[in-house]
Amino acid sequence: MPPHAADAARHLVRYSGRADFSPELVVRASGTTIVTETGRELLDFTSGQMSAILGHSHPRIVQTVQRQITELDHLHSGMLSPPVVELSRRLAESLPDPLEKVLLLTTGAESNEAAVRMAKLVTGKHEIVSFARSWHGMTQAAANATYSAGRKGYGPATPGNFALPVPDRFHPDLLDADGELDWRRQLDLGFDLIDAQSVGSLAACLVEPILSSGGVVELPPGYLAALAAKCRERGMLLILDEAQTGLCRTGDWYAFEHDGVVPDILTVSKTLGAGLPLAAVVTTAEIEQQAHDRGFLFFTTHVADPLPAAVGNTVLDVLTEEGLEARARKSGAGLRAGLERLMERHEVVGDVRGRGLLLGVELVAEGEGATDRLGAAVTQRCYELGLHMNIVQLPGMGGVFRIAPPLTATEEELERGVDVLDRALGDVA
């Protein structure tokens, strides 16, 4: 038993649902490499919790933290600092008009909470629509808009939350004449059902442009524009959650740019802090003014903190200076090609999908519970061979590896990860 395993088992609350903690403590990390207390090295194909887009302990981030914490770390929430104003300006400049008003917070759940609260206040309505396999966080409004997990056993959900069918082309539920997903009919039917249940108080639709915890599901071309039109017809706001897709991860600065749709409210988190707790809500001047006029309140302990804001500015510097948007496209294409070769070699690999360096590999197996067992076994074998992977297990679909290495990963590291996954699939399947 590792040295601290007994203390962990005795004292830590298990907070991740079914999964246990990793069997070893991690003592340091650098770049794409995680080192455990026993000296084992693991290649990180999840960027920590899908966040460390510049790798672990990036030198520029380390320098920023060391400098900033000696100057200005935390302030009263009503005070502003140069890093906060600068980051707000730069985020606005990175986005299309009319997105220009920024609220800096800490986590993705908190940013979604603020966005939903703002939407309800501005519209004067309370009903929220999100995907049936969504994950938006564990705080109240975010959790009520989350359908992929965590809904059972906690009592009644907040009234007025509705689930929209997921346009999953690998698991199509409505087919067109060519046997493909008829997503337009699916979207129409979804809103027909929502309209039937609504009490006339639809406030907002909160979705990810690529569902991550929902199985790395990329929305079909044209879907996001059609969804935005549905929202406009009903006087709803469109909130896009780019916690895992924003800041060059998908090969664009923001994933919604791929579809030419501008949301009313955008939330970014995970990638913005590159592993440190930083999130943002970005909206229009018109919506911000309406919210302010109605007394918008989201006053938290760490709103507009200078230390994480300084880190966010450094993240934007590195993304720009190192050309990581184009690098994610190129590296992602190479990684996807390697994963598609695995699909040819292993029958249990049913699909490879995603964009840039956010890719999904779906496993398929015959028999009840077989995919769950296969996914767990492959994940464990990858760990034994030195690769940290994350698999999403959802009812009614196969296990999906979410593959999201740091944008700074080298071609050699990406190839090594594919080789390890290849070997693990062969050993297990």
C-beta neighbour count of 303 within 10 angstroms: 17
Of 110, 113, 125, 135, the active-site residue reads: 135
Residue found under tokens 């080192």: 35
Of 244, 253, 288, 325, the active-site residue reads: 244
Of 68, 234, 402, 413, the active-site residue reads: 402
Buried b (16+ CB within 10 A) or exposed e, 172-196: eebeeeeeebbbeebbeebbeebee
3-class DSSP assignment, residue 373: helix
Helix/strand/coil (H/E/C) assignment for every residue in 271-297: HHHECECCEEEEEEHHHHHHHHHCCCC
- Give how far the C-alpha of residue 313 lies from the chain's centroid of Cα atoms, to the nearest Å: 20
Residue found under tokens 């948007």: 325
User: Is 234 a known active-site residue?
Assistant: no
Dihedral of CA atoms 255, 258, 261, 267 in degrees, nearest 10, equals 10
3-class DSSP assignment, residue 358: strand
Of 270, 327, 336, 355, the active-site residue reads: 270
Of 44, 110, 113, 241, the active-site residue reads: 241
User: Is 241 a known active-site residue?
Assistant: yes
Give kind and range of the element (H or E) at residue 43. Answer: strand 41-44
> Using only C-alpha atoms, what is the Rg of the chain?
21
User: Is 253 a known active-site residue?
Assistant: no
User: Is 244 a known active-site residue?
Assistant: yes
Give the whole-angstrom CA distance, residue 73 versus residue 306.
Answer: 6
Tokens linked to 88: 């707000």
Which strand ranges, in their side-by-side order, compose the sheet holding 349-355?
349-355, 358-363, 400-403, 390-392
Tokens linked to 143: 């959790």
Of 208, 242, 259, 305, the active-site residue reads: 208
Give kind and range of the element (H or E) at residue 202. Answer: strand 202-207
Give the catalytic positions in this structure.
135, 208, 241, 244, 270, 402
